[in-house]
Every structure is written in structure tokens, then in C-alpha cells.
Amino acid sequence: MGDLDTREQVHPGTAPGEDLVLEIRGDGDFDTADMTLSIGPAHPATHGVLRVILEMDGEKIRDAHPVIGYMHRGFEKLAEARDFRQIMALTNRHDWLSGFSNELGVALAAERLMEFEVPDRAQWIRMLLAEWNRVLNHLMFVGSYAIELGAITPMFYAFREREDIQFLLESATGGRLHFTYNQVGGVKIDLPKGFMKESTDLSAMVRKRLQDYVDLVLGNEIFHARTKGIGPLPPEVALAYGVTGPTLQAAGVPEDSRVTEPYLKYGEIDVRVPTGTNGDSFDRFAVLLGRIEASLDLIDQIHDHMPAGPVNSKLPKIVKAPEGYTYIRTENPLGQLGYYLESDGGKNPWRLKMRTPSFSNVQVLPYLLRGALVPDAVAILGSVFFVVGDVDR
């Protein structure tokens, strides 16, 4: 059996483009073999069609290769063939959990390039709906993360609230996921009668029910055992990879573009940014709950500030952006969404680059998964918040 030392073969499950050499070592009695394990492309822990190829050493993950691109639709190419009105309907689709925030960014970029003055009321309405959208998104992750760890009940609670919030947003925008409510120069229509009262009541109710999640999930000792110390992400690594949002804040970096680069009227209200200390899965989840609470605080403040007035401004028949470029960053629920908009003076953008938070969050996965155990891989995948449509665009 001496030739075992030199025996090599290429594993059939090699990641595309990589030569993974499978070594078989030992004296023949206790052969250990590295193997690859493919998670996905349709694993429920991945929120879409993501594939992660794990190189295993026993139960330990030696390396991980995320394979993305299954949902690539060529958003940036499509945007070059559409004018600024039509892009709005395109942007809210890639990250289907935060449609409102997506279209907000491109509207802001276009307005900045055109030097458009947006009416005050439109700005406050945008903030109000963006915060509700944030709560909507985070509730989804609160429910689904618990499901990935084996607890079904929190999902039902999350959808109880989500349904009410979606009903509220639908009453204003007509859409449940794809709102298409922003437009260059303001929002489509004014809020319906009675919206503010509904919103106030709902904010109080969601805040009251937030305690349910703390009791159900955050205080659960199984949850503690599954998540504490799992997948710690140091802040310098997170920043080098461009990780933002709750994943970065859990690492202790209080970076939130609503505070550091205020857009709309966020400079006039008090935005709290929850942060964690260890950057592990538990902190990421705790920060997510903290962000829901902070968003509810913002919603209450926005209610007090909401002015009267017009909600949009008259646009010319053909909207054209002057020549130039700009980069704007908004705090999306999952992190910072950046739009680089370059115009050649025509009615279509010359280049519209979308920098999405999920792309960076997925890129850091190999770092987090290296050295983890297989059951922890699911706990890590679910806690680095991403939506695959947002990764692939």
C-alpha cells in the first residue's frame, strides 16, 4: 500500500475553474479524504439561488467558494436603455425585500444631477416609507433566521406584523413588494386620508410586539448556543470587504449613512445606530432587532415633523439629466446601497452602477466559513444578511 502516499485524483465536485486536488493519505487502515459539499443553489438558508461549495476536512470547513450569478438579469445594461421614469420600476426588483429604498437611491441620484428641489413633504414621506420598508425587511430576516436554526414559530409572528405593514404601504403606494412610488421630483401621489393615524397606531403596536421576538428568540438558550461566538467578523476585515449595514454595525463600527452622510431630512432627526461588540452571529441578529426599534423611533419622529404641501413637482415631458456624474449612497435595510449615475446629457443614463450591500456581504462568506463546522455554516449564512437578487442584479 505504499503507493497511497502519491495517489491523487481530481474530485468530481470541484468548483468551476479550480483544480481541487483530492489527496488520500494514510497507511490504508484509516484513510481520511477531503470532500466537497455543495450547498444550494436552492438551499433555504440562502434567500435565493446561491450556491456555496464547501471544501470539508471531516466536519470542518476548510474553504468555501460562493458561486453567484444565477439570478443575473443585467440591471445595469437594462438601465442604459430606459429613461429615468422607467428605471424606477426596474430598481425595486433586485432586492425584493427593500423595494422602496432601492428606488429612493436612484431618484436621489437623478435629482442631484438635475439639481432638482424636492418639496419638503415628499422628502418626509419618502423617509417615512423607507423606514417602514426597513422594518418590513428586518422582520423577514428575524423570522427566517429563526427558521434556519430550527425554530418555526417566530416566522408566524414576523408575518403577522409584516402583513399589517404591507397593508399600510399598499394603501399608499398600491404595491406590496414593488412599490414604484418614487419618481424624479417627489413621490407619485399624496398619502391617503387616515394614513398618519394608521401609521401611528401600527408603530405603537409593532413596538409592543417587538418584545415577543426578544422573548422568543433572543432570550432562547438554544439560540444562544447556536449563535454566540459563531462567525466573528473583525471590523477591519468587514471594512476591507466593503461590508455595511447590520453586519458591519455588529462588528462595532457605528457606520450608518443616515448619520454620517445624511440625505433627505435625516439630519433633522435623531437617528440611533445600534452596534454590537463581537461581530458574531448573535450580535448581528441583536443589531437587527435594535435597528427595528430605531426605525420605529424614527417613524414616530417623522410623524411629528410631517409638513403639509405638495408631494411632487412638475417635470418636463422628457426628463434629461445634464452631463456629469454623481455617486449617492443610501442606507438600505441590508447595508449601504450606492448609485453611481453618469449622464451624457441624454434621457437615458450613460452608466448606472449599483453598488449593492449583499454583494459585499456574500464576498466575505469564505472568510467567515473557514474553520467553522457544517451546522454553523447555516447559522453564519443566515446571519450575514443578503438577498441573492441583490447580489446578482
What is the contact surface with another protein in residues (CB under 8 A)?
16-17, 68-69, 72, 74, 76-78, 80-81, 112-113, 236-237, 239-242, 253-256, 259-261, 272-277, 286-287, 290, 317-318, 324-329, 336, 338, 340, 342, 346, 350-351, 353, 355, 359-360, 363, 367, 392-393
Which three cell numbers mark 113? 444631477
Smallest gap from residue 44 Cβ to another protein (A): 23
Which three cell numbers mark 354? 449599483
Smallest gap from residue 338 Cβ to another protein (A): 6
Pick from 82, 33, 85: nearest CA to 55: 33
**Cβ contacts of 85 within 8 Å, gap of 6 or more:** 183, 184, 319
CB nearer to another protein: give 137 or 244: 244
Smallest gap from residue 283 Cβ to another protein (A): 8
CB atoms within 10 A of CB 350: 14
CB nearer to another protein: give 155 or 364: 364
Q: What length is written for the chain?
A: 393
State the DSSP code for 16. T
Smallest gap from residue 189 Cβ to another protein (A): 17
CB nearer to another protein: give 254 or 307: 254
CB 247 within 8 A of CB 384: yes
CB nearer to another protein: give 169 or 266: 266
CB 312 within 8 A of CB 181: no
* Nearest-angstrom CA–CA distance, 200 and 379: 35
**Cβ contacts of 369 within 8 Å, gap of 6 or more:** 52, 54, 61, 63, 64, 231, 377, 380
Smallest gap from residue 15 Cβ to another protein (A): 9
Element (H, E) at 25: strand 21-25
CB nearer to another protein: give 9 or 260: 260
Smallest gap from residue 340 Cβ to another protein (A): 7
Smallest gap from residue 265 Cβ to another protein (A): 16
Smallest gap from residue 161 Cβ to another protein (A): 21
CB nearer to another protein: give 34 or 342: 342
CB nearer to another protein: give 99 or 349: 349
Q: CA torsion, points 387, 388, 392, 393, in degrees to nearest 10?
A: -50
Smallest gap from residue 220 Cβ to another protein (A): 17
Q: Give buried/exposed letters for 105-125 (b at 16+ CB in 10 A, else e).
A: bbbbbbbbbbebebbbbbbbb
CB atoms within 10 A of CB 174: 13
Pick from 80, 40, 71: nearest CA to 358: 71
Smallest gap from residue 207 Cβ to another protein (A): 16
Looking at residue 5, its amino acid is D
Q: DSSP alpha helices (H): ranges in 52-181?
A: 75-79, 84-91, 99-114, 120-148, 153-173
**Cβ contacts of 109 within 8 Å, gap of 6 or more:** 326, 327, 328, 339, 340, 341
CB nearer to another protein: give 3 or 19: 19
CB nearer to another protein: give 74 or 307: 74
CB nearer to another protein: give 11 or 353: 353
